[in-house]
Amino acid sequence: MGVRVRARLDIAYDGTEFSGWAVQPERRTVAGALLEVLEQILGAGVATGLTVAGRTDAGVHATGQVAHVDLPDPVWAATGPTLLRRLAGLLPGDVRVMALAEAPAEFDARFSATYRRYQYRVTDAPWGASPLRRRDTLAWPRALDVERLNAAAAGLVGEHDFAAFCKRKENATTIREVTRLDWHRTAADGVLVATVQADAFCQAMVRSLVGAMLVAGDGRRPPEWPAGQLTRRERSSAVTVAPAHGLTLVGVGYPEDAGALAARAAATRRLRIPAD
Catalytic option among 57, 108, 124, 136: 57
Alpha-carbon 245 to chain mean position = 12
Angle at the Cα of 22 from the Cα atoms of 177 and 114, rounded to 5 degrees: 25
Give the separation between CA 21 and CA 50, rounded to whole angstroms: 11
Packed helices 205-217 and 146-154: angle between N→C axes, nearest 10 degrees: 130
Question: 136 an active-site residue?
Answer: no
DSSP string, 45-97: TTSEEEEES--PPTT-EEEEEEEEEEEEHHHHHHHHHHHHHHHHHHS-TTEEE
Give the separation between CA 122 and CA 126, rounded to whole angstroms: 12
Tell me which residues are annotated as active site. 57
